[in-house]
């Protein structure tokens, strides 16, 4: 199978759309002041809407860490809800930047993100902070499971930022399988960022 999505900056969405010939590959675009998220909410909304107009099927935004660290969950939720509305038909993947949250307890508090309309929660950007960890993935999966048990809604998980070896990918796969079950083991609910991983996979396949 092909990759689930190709993720690019907003300016390159149209280029990918014109060049892409493989079927069933989504076009994802980072938006919302990526990778720091430190810009005006209005800019985030506008950039998201413009990326969708260019052809993005998915939008990746970084959660506002300032709001989160200050426990300003009301404004954080409102901002994400407004970004979600500007996505229209596109799916919203919210990057938690788990490397900045430090503790599992802090990461667990991100269960508010699905309530704001996120279709996926994602570990990290891989820029500026430590990337994905097994502890973060475990904690996020537990939060997703709890959210699903309460609401019946399924939220996807993406592991990204520093996944470099096939062994690591298998470990993340196993965490998702053991906590969320086989029904999450598909491209609609589980992704691994492969920009660093692909070299190791190609080497092992002898290509």
**Could you give the C-alpha distances from 147 to 6, 60, 153, in angstroms and in order?**
28, 21, 7
For residue 32, report the phi and psi dihedrals to the nearest 5 degrees.
Answer: 70, 40
Q: For residue 52, how far is the Cα from the chain centroid? A: 16
Q: Which of 44, 84, 93, 158 is catalytic?
A: 158
CA quadruple 178, 98, 127, 75: dihedral positive or negative?
A: positive
Looking at the DSSP bridge assignments, the partners of residue 62 are 95
Active site annotation includes 111:
no
Active site annotation includes 168:
no
Q: Which of 44, 84, 93, 122 is catalytic?
A: 122
In 113-182, at which residue ranges do the beta strands (DSSP E only) sit? 120-122, 156-159
Active site annotation includes 200:
no
Quote the CA–CA distance of 190 and 192 in Å, as a whole number: 7
Q: Which of 60, 111, 119, 168 is catalytic?
A: 60
Both tokens of residue 67?
A: 């709001």
User: Which residues are catalytically annotated?
Assistant: 60, 122, 158
């Amino acid at each position: 199978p092909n990759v689930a999505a190709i993720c690019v900056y907003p300016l390159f969405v149209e280029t990918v759309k014109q060049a892409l010939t493989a079927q069933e590959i989504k076009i994802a675009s980072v938006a919302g002041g990526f990778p720091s998220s430190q810009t005006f909410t209005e800019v985030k909304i506008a950039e998201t809407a413009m990326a969708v107009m260019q052809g993005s099927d998915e939008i990746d935004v970084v959660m506002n860490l300032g709001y989160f660290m200050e426990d300003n969950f009301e404004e954080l939720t409102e901002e994400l809800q407004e970004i979600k509305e500007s996505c229209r038909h596109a799916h919203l993947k919210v990057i938690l930047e788990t490397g900045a949250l430090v503790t599992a307890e802090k990461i667990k508090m991100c269960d508010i993100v699905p309530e704001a309309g996120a279709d996926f929660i994602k570990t990290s950007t891989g820029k500026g902070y430590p990337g994905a960890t097994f502890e973060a993935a475990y904690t996020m999966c537990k939060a997703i499971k709890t959210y699903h048990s309460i609401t019946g809604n399924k939220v996807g998980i993406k592991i990204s930022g520093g996944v470099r070896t096939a062994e690591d990918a298998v470990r993340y796969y196993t965490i998702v399988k053991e906590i969320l079950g086989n029904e999450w083991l598909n491209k609609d609910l589980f992704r691994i960022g492969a920009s660093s991983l692909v070299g190791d996979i190609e080497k092992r396949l002898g290509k």
